Amino acid sequence: MNKLYLYLILVFGIHFCESQNLAVLKYDGGGDWYSNPTALKNLIAFCNTTINTTMDAKPHSIEIGSPAIFEYPFVHMTGHGNVVFSESDSKNLRDYLLSGGFLHIDDNYGMKPYVLEALKTVFPDKKMTEIPLNHPIYTTEFSFPKGLPKIHEHDGLAPRALGYFHEGKLVLLFTYESDLGDGWEDASVHNDPESVRLKALKMGANIIKYAFEN
């Protein structure tokens, strides 16, 4: 463990404890990291009301290679297209996750093959595994006994949740064929029924609560 890593744990670990804010991850490759612009503000409002978080009303945005990522206990990533991590990006993200951070990647349809390839540079020695239905991420606040809710149809496939674990804790969650972020958007964006949007928001609240409490 190098001195910089120890420094980040000691200094930014304090921010993890004190901060209840989340950030959107900015990445290279041409993918639209900024998609679903109304999603997180709605998820934040829902969480502040239902699970007693105290997050800022608007999400922050953070470069994947920036040391400021360590100020956020929860980082969200989305998009439709290409994702590229430089060597320094991958190391910074790996150090962030191993020191207590949490990354949720929600495929907005089309990013899966690119982000899975990029993640191999973050955890070359780890295997991404399916999140079992008995994992607390499905029960921290709201019950989802069948796993991820299906918000939007694309390929007619069941929604899936995969992740990386470190010392027994889920540190990176990848959701696809679900489109949680679309369900968090303003109702006027996709015209989803309120019942569908509520499922998405409740699942999002579960993810936030797990990340903050574990």
User: Domains of the chain by range and CATH?
Assistant: 3-213 (3.40.50.12140)
DSSP H or E run through 48: helix 39-50
Question: Residues 18, 170, 210, 26: is their CA dihedral positive or negative?
Answer: positive
Q: Strand 169-176 vs strand 160-166: parallel, antiparallel, or unpaired?
A: antiparallel
**201 with 42: CB under 8 angstroms?**
yes
Identify the residue whose tokens are 């007693």: 52
Q: Is 48 exposed, middle or buried (0-12, 13-18, 19+ CB in 10 A)?
A: middle
Q: What's the predicted TM-score (pTM) here? A: 0.90
Report which of 127, 133, 138, 136 is spatially closest to residue 163, judged by C-alpha positions.
Answer: 127
Q: pLDDT in tens for each of the 214 residues of the chain?
A: 444 444 444 444 434 545 689 999 999 998 899 989 999 999 999 999 999 999 999 999 999 999 999 999 999 999 988 999 999 999 999 999 999 999 999 998 889 999 999 999 999 999 999 999 999 999 999 999 999 999 987 777 899 999 999 999 999 999 999 989 999 999 898 888 999 999 999 999 999 999 999 8
As a whole number of angstroms, the distance between CA 83 and CA 31 comes to 6
Residue 155's CB: how many other CB atoms inside 10 A? 7
